[in-house]
């Protein structure tokens, strides 16, 4: 959501959920996934989404092409692929298996798309799930689709390229706060119908307002079977320093929809030396991160930290190192990563 400098079917005969056992000491080996019906991939539970956002240094609100940190519109496909492979490898070393990438009409409908696909392909080739989410332009920021025709063209182009890639997921809009609940659900339902070639479990529909409440979307029968995107940030309630208060807030936003919910934006300061493993000591951010990661673990939510990498963002979990295609990531806060590992049962 906008926060200035701190931004940030074919039906299967049977749907079998895969379960993987995690633990700090790996108490038991990972369970084998059931064989998918008719040779199609089994549907992963939301808890299998353990990821990070990879964002544009300017934030993902852009009128021109949105470009994740470390990439460039002047690079061709091969260079973009090589850079992305290095960065995705860095995310993998954090324990992540999912990356959320921004898209907008300028990125997709223009010349950058040929190169940008290198980032998506590098991630899926490394076994990552990729969530592609639409951001509106920085000269709008009204929580509404900027240009319907351009948006439709963008999604047609994206789904044409990746509808058959089971590792790619589609989020029609990031934080649709300009719409009423009914308006947003109508838009989302139309998008789902338009893109019926995409399995519903690979659609990620944002919650109401700043993707902050998934219950109305969850209850809409037209959106049955889709995943739900939830956002929640500590700076929304800077006076809250109780872990229990934050846990209650998370659960109120989710209701009984945890099995469909991916918390695909949550984050706090990672470059200021906070100890997220220690006592709260009156820190809003420590209380919030402890509550978020406890809730993810307890409810089995999917989670995508904001951001894994965004140059210049104090919330960024990592810092980009190197030049050209020789890139790597350095960790900004071990205790922050520890909390993610707790949430991810690693």
Q: Is residue 29 part of a domain?
A: no
Pairing assessment for the beta strands 50-54 and 98-103 based on DSSP bridges: parallel
Which one-letter DSSP state was computed for residue 48? G
Average pLDDT over residues 170-186: 98
With respect to residue 58, please indicate whether it lies within any of the assigned structural domains. Answer: yes
Q: What is the pLDDT of residues 12-59, one digit of tens each?
A: 333 333 333 333 332 322 333 344 444 567 899 999 999 999 999 999
Within a domain: 178: yes
**270 occurs within a structural domain:** yes
Confidence of residue 186 (pLDDT cuts 50, 70, 90): very high
Q: Which of 18, 27, 14 is nearest to 46 (CA)?
A: 18
142 vs 53: CA distance, rounded Å:
22
Q: According to the model, what pLDDT value does residue 58 have?
A: 95
Q: Return the residue matching tokens 């989410």.
A: 133
The domain containing residue 144 runs over which residues?
Answer: 48-343
Res 42: pLDDT: 84
| Residue 27 belongs to some domain of the structure | no
- Mean pLDDT of all residues in 92-102: 98
Quick check: helix, strand or coil at residue 152?
helix
The whole-chain average pLDDT of the chain stands at 91
Please tell me the predicted confidence (pLDDT) of residue 8: 40
Domain count, the chain: 1
Interval 99-105 mean pLDDT: 98
Q: Give the span between the Cα atoms of 178 and 210, in whole angstroms.
A: 9
Q: Quickly state the pLDDT bin for 228 (edges 50, 70, 90).
A: very high
* Distance in angstroms (rounded) separating the CA atoms of residues 86 and 334: 21
Six-digit token string for 154 = 């963008």
Q: Are 170 and 140 spatial neighbours (Cβ–Cβ below 8 Å)?
A: no
Please report whether residue 276 resides in a domain.
yes
Residues contacting residue 116 through CB under 8 Å, at least 6 positions apart: 65, 71, 80, 103, 107, 108
Measure Cα distances from 116 to 108, 111, 188 in Å.
8, 9, 25
The pLDDT of residue 138 is 95
Provide DSSP, 199-235.
-GGGBEEE-HHHHTB-HHHHH-GGGTT-EEEEE--GG
Q: What is the pLDDT of residue 40?
A: 61
CATH of the domain at 252: 3.20.20.80
Q: Would residue 7 count as lying in a domain? A: no
In angstroms, rounded to a whole number, what is the distance separating the alpha carbons of residues 185 and 173? 12
Residue 20 within a domain = no
Is the pLDDT reported for residue 161 higher than 60? yes
CB of 299 closer than 8 Å to CB of 60: no
In angstroms, the CA 343 to CA 346 distance is 8
Question: CA-CA distance, 7 to 205, in Å (whole number)?
Answer: 20
300-327 pLDDT, tens digit per residue, is 999 999 999 999 999 999 999 999 999 9
């Amino acid at each position: 959501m906008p926060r200035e400098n701190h931004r940030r079917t074919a039906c299967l005969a049977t749907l079998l959920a895969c379960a993987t056992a995690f633990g700090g000491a790996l108490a038991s080996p990972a369970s084998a996934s059931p064989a998918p019906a008719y040779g199609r991939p089994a549907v992963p539970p939301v808890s299998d989404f353990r990821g990070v956002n990879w964002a544009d240094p300017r934030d993902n609100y852009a009128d021109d092409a949105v470009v994740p940190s470390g990439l460039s519109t002047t690079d061709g496909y091969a260079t973009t692929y090589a850079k992305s492979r290095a960065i995705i490898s860095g995310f993998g070393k954090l324990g992540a298996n999912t990356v959320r990438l921004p898209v907008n009409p300028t990125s997709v409908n223009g010349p950058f798309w040929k190169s940008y696909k290198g980032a998506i392909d590098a991630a899926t080739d490394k076994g990552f799930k990729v969530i592609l989410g639409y951001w509106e332009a920085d000269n709008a920021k009204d929580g509404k689709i900027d240009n319907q025709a351009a948006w439709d063209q963008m999604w047609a182009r994206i789904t044409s390229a990746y509808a058959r890639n089971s590792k790619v997921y589609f989020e029609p809009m990031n934080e649709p706060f300009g719409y009423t609940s009914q308006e947003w659900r109508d838009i989302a339902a139309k998008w789902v119908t338009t893109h019926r070639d995409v399995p519903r479990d690979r659609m990620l529909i944002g919650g109401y307002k700043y993707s902050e409440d998934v219950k109305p979307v969850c209850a809409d029968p037209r959106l049955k079977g889709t995943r739900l995107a939830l956002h929640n940030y500590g700076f929304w309630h800077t006076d809250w320093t109780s872990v229990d208060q934050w846990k209650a807030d998370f659960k109120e936003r989710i209701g009984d929809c945890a099995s469909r919910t991916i918390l695909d934006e949550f984050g706090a300061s990672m470059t200021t030396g906070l100890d997220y493993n220690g006592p709260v000591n009156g820190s809003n951010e420590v209380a919030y991160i402890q509550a978020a990661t406890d809730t993810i673990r307890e409810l089995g939510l999917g989670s995508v930290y904001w951001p894994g990498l965004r140059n210049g963002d104090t919330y960024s979990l990592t810092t980009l190192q190197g030049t050209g295609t020789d890139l790597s990531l350095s960790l900004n806060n071990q205790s922050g990563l520890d909390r993610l590992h707790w949430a991810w049962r690693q």
